Structure 1
Amino acid sequence: MSSSNKEFDGDSISSSDSLEIQSGNRDPKTQNPQAYVPSDNEDRMSELSHYATTPDQSLKMVRTETKKSLKDLGVSDELPTLDPNRPIAVENPIFPEEYTLETETGLVPVATLQDLGRNPTALEKLRKEKSRAFPQPNGEATILKDSSDVETFKSKEYSPEIEFVTFLINDPENPYNWPTFTKWAYTIILSILVVAVAFGSSCISGALFTVEDQYNVSLEVAILTVSLMVLGFSLGPLLWSPLSEQIGRRWVYFISLGLYTIFNIPCALSPNIGGLLVCRFLCGVFSSSALCLVGGSIADMHPSETRGKAIAYFAAAPYGGPVIGPLVCGWIGVKTNRMDLIFWVNMGFAGFMWLLVACIPETYQPVILKNRAKKLRAELNNPNIMTEQEANPLTFKELIVTCLYRPLMFVFTEPVLDMMCVYVCLIYSLLYAFFFAYPVIFSELYGYEDDFIGLMLIPILIGAFLALVTTPVLESMYVKMCQRRKPTPEDRLVGAMIGSPFPAIALFILGATSYKHIIWVGPASSGIAFGYGMVLIYYSLNNYIIDTYAKYAASALATKVFLRSAGGAAFPLFTTQMYHKLGLQWASWLLAFISLAMILIPFVFYVYGARLRAKMCKENYSEM
Structure 2
Amino acid sequence: MSDIESFTSFNSEDSQNNDDQQPQQYIPTESENNNNAINNLHLTRTETVKTLQDLGVTSHVPVPDINAPQSSKKNAIFPEEYTMETTTGLVPVATLQSMGRTASAISRTRTRQMQGRSSMSILSSKSNSKEELEEEEEEMTNEEGTTTEIDPEIEFVTFVTNDPENPHNWPLWIRWCYTILLSTLVICVAYGSACITGGFGTVEEKFHVSLEASILSCSLMVIGFSVGPLLWSPVSDLYGRRVAYFFSMGLYVIFNIPCALAPNLGCLLACRFLCGVWSSSGLCLVGGSIADMFPSETRGKAIAFFAYSPYCGPVFGPLVNGFISVSTGRMDLIFWVNMAFAGVMWIISSAIPETYAPVILKRRAAKLRKETGNPKIMTEQEAQGITFNEMMTACVVRPLKFSVTEPVLCMTCFYVCLIYSLLYAFFFAYPVIFSELYGYKDNIIGLMFIPILIGASFAVLTTFWCESQYLKLIKTRKPTPEDRLLGAKIGAPFAALALWMLGATTYNHRMWLAPASSGMPFGFGMVLIYYSLNNYIIDCYVQYASSALATKVFLRSAGGAAFPLFTTQMYHKLGLHWASWLLAFICTAMIALPFAFSYYGKELRHKLSKFDYSIDAVED
TM-score, normalised by the number of residues in structure 1: 0.85
Paired with 2:342 and 2:17, the residues of 1 have a C-alpha distance of 64
CA 1:131–1:302 in structure 2 vs 1: closer, same or farther (change >3 Å)? same
Please give the secondary structure, in 2, of the residue aligned with 1:159.
coil
Once residues 292 and 283 of structure 1 are traced to their aligned partners in structure 2, the CA distance between those partners, rounded to angstroms, is 15
In 2, the alpha carbon distance for the partners of 1:166 and 1:116 equals 18
- Aligned partner of 2:197 among 194, 200, 205: 205
SS at match of 1:303: coil
- Which residue, 476, 496, 499 being the options, matches 2:468? 476
Alignment root-mean-square deviation, CA: 1.9
Query: Do structure 1's residue 447 and structure 2's residue 430 form an aligned pair?
Result: no
Change (3 A) 1:75 1:349: closer
**Which residue type is aligned with residue 107 of structure 1?**
L
- Amino acid of the residue matched to residue 81 of structure 1? D
**Helix, strand or coil at the partner of 2:152:** coil
1:128 correspondence with 2:111? yes
Q: Distance in 2 between matches of 1:309 and 1:173?
A: 23
Aligned to 1:48: none
CA contact 1:164–1:386 (8 Å) conserved in 2: yes
SS at 2:522 equivalent: helix
Of the three residues 465, 479, 493, the one matched with 1:487 is 479
- Deviation of the 1:110 alpha carbon: 1.6
Structure 1 range deviating more: 410-419 or 103-112: 103-112
| Separation in structure 1 between the aligned mates of residue 427 and residue 81 of structure 2, nearest angstrom | 42
Aligned to 1:118: 101
**1:389 counterpart residue number:** 381
| Of 17, 20, 32, the match for 1:81 | 20
Of 553, 564, 575 in structure 2, the residue corresponding to residue 583 of structure 1 is 575
Q: Equivalent residue of 2:91, what SS?
A: strand
1:121 is displaced (CA, Å) by 5.5
* Alpha-carbon separation, structure 1, partners of 2:107 and 2:586: 47
For residue 235 of structure 2, give the secondary structure of its aligned residue in structure 1: helix
- Is 1:143 paired with 2:137? yes
Is the 1:441–1:514 Cα contact (8 Å) retained in structure 2? Answer: yes
Q: Does 1:500 align with 2:503?
A: no
* Match of residue 603 from structure 1: 595
Contact 2:111–2:141, Cα closer than 8 Å, also in 1: no
- In structure 2, the partner of 1:241 is 233
Measured against aligned partners, the alpha-carbon deviations of 1:320-377 in whole angstroms (never above 9, x if no partner) come to 1000111001001100110000000000000101101111111111111111111111
Give per-residue Cα distances to partners, 1:280-326, cap 9 Å, x unaligned: 00000001111111111111110022111111222110101000111
Match of residue 27 from structure 1: none
Amino acid aligned to 1:364: Y
Residues 451 and 519 of structure 2 are in contact (CA less than 8 Å); yes or no, is this contact kept in structure 1? yes
- Name the counterpart of 1:331: 323
Is 1:163 the counterpart of 2:155? The answer is yes
Aligned partners of 2:578, 2:439: CA distance in 1, in Å? 21
CA contact (8 A) 1:147 1:398 kept: no
- Taking a change above 3 Å as real, the CA distance of residues 412 and 203 of structure 1, as seen in their structure-2 partners, is same
Shift in CA distance, 144/306, structure 1 to aligned 2, threshold 3 Å: farther
Distance 1:567 1:121 in 2: 43
Contact 1:240–1:252 (CA under 8 A) maintained in structure 2? yes
For the residues of structure 1 that align with 2:15 and 2:190, how far apart are their CA atoms? 66
Shift of 1:159: 2.8
Cα distance in 2, alignment partners of residues 415 and 370 from structure 1:
37
Paired with 2:510 and 2:198, the residues of 1 have a C-alpha distance of 24
1:518 positional shift? 1.1
Work out the CA distance in 2 between the residues paired with 1:386 and 1:75: 26
* 1:375-404 Cα shifts (integer Å, max 9, x gaps): 111111111111111111111221111111
- Partner Cα separation in structure 2 for residue 526 and residue 158 of structure 1: 59
Change (3 A) 1:448 1:75: closer
Does residue 288 (structure 1) correspond to residue 227 (structure 2)? The answer is no
Helix, strand or coil: the match of 1:108?
A: strand
| Residue pair 1:463, 1:531 contacting (<8 A) in 2 also | yes
User: Do 2:114 and 2:140's aligned partners in 1 also have CA atoms closer than 8 Å?
Assistant: no
2:369 and 2:216 map into 1 onto residues whose CA distance is 52
Specify the SS of the correspondent of 2:518. Answer: helix
Alignment check: 8 A CA contact 1:205 1:226 kept: yes
The alpha carbon displacement at 1:145 in A equals 3.7
Partner of residue 215, structure 2: 223
Amino acid at match of 1:608: Y
Q: Which amino acid aligns with 1:198?
A: A
Task: Tell me how far apart the structure 2 counterparts of residues 179 and 193 of structure 1 sit (CA, whole Å).
Answer: 21
1:107 equivalent in alignment to 2:46:
no
Quote the residue 1:13 is aligned against.
none
Query: d(CA) in 2 for partners of 1:591 and 1:77?
Result: 66
Confirm or deny: 8 A CA contact 1:428 1:568 kept in the other structure: yes
Counterpart AA for 1:438: Y
1:179 and 2:171 aligned: yes
Structure 2: which amino acid aligns with 1:529?
P
Residues 1:573 and 2:565 are matched in the alignment: yes
CA spacing shift, 1:78–1:166, aligned 2, 3 Å: closer
Specify the SS of the correspondent of 2:344.
Answer: helix
Q: How does 1:243-258 map to 2 (within 5 A)?
A: 243-258=235-250
Inter-partner Cα distance in structure 2 for 1:133 and 1:299: 33
Whole-Å separation in 2 of the counterparts to 1:418 and 1:477 = 27
Change (3 A) 1:514 1:77: closer
| Structure exhibiting the larger radius of gyration computed from Cα positions | 1
Would the aligned equivalents of 1:511 and 1:589 in 2 still touch at CA under 8 Å? yes
Partner SS, residue 156 of structure 2: strand
Query: Alpha carbons of 1:149 and 1:179: their partners in 2 closer, same or farther (altered >3 Å)?
Result: farther
* Cα distance change of structure 1 residues 272 and 461 upon mapping to structure 2, 3 Å threshold: same
Deviation at 1:157, TM superposition (A): 2.8
Q: What are the superposed Cα offsets for residues 223-279 of structure 1, whole Å, 9 maximum, x if unpaired?
A: 000000001001111111122111111100111010001100000001111000000
Letter in 2 for 1:336: T
Which amino acid is 1:272 matched to? N
Q: Deviations over 1:172-191 (max 9, x none)?
A: 11111111111111111110
1:103 partner letter: T
CA distance in 1, matches of 2:591, 2:15: 67
**Greater alpha carbon shift after TM alignment, 472-481 vs 379-388:** 379-388
Could you tell me whether the CA contact under 8 Å between 1:267 and 1:276 is conserved in 2?
yes
Percent identity reads 64
Q: Any conservation in 1 of the 2:107–2:141 contact (CA below 8 Å)? A: no
Deviation at 1:144, TM superposition (A): 6.0
Corresponding residue to 1:619 among 602, 607, 611: 611
What is the CA distance between 1:132 and its match in structure 2?
3.3
2:140·2:611 contact (CA, 8 Å) conserved in 1? no
Alpha-carbon distance between aligned partners in 1 of 2:116 and 2:549, rounded to the nearest angstrom: 25
Give the TM-score, by structure 2 length.
Answer: 0.86
In 2, the alpha carbon distance for the partners of 1:304 and 1:533 equals 25
Amino acid at match of 2:137: I
- Tell me how far 1:120 sits from its aligned partner: 5.1
Q: What are the Cα deviations for residues 561-589 of structure 1, in whole angstroms up to 9, with x where unaligned?
A: 00000000000000000001111000000
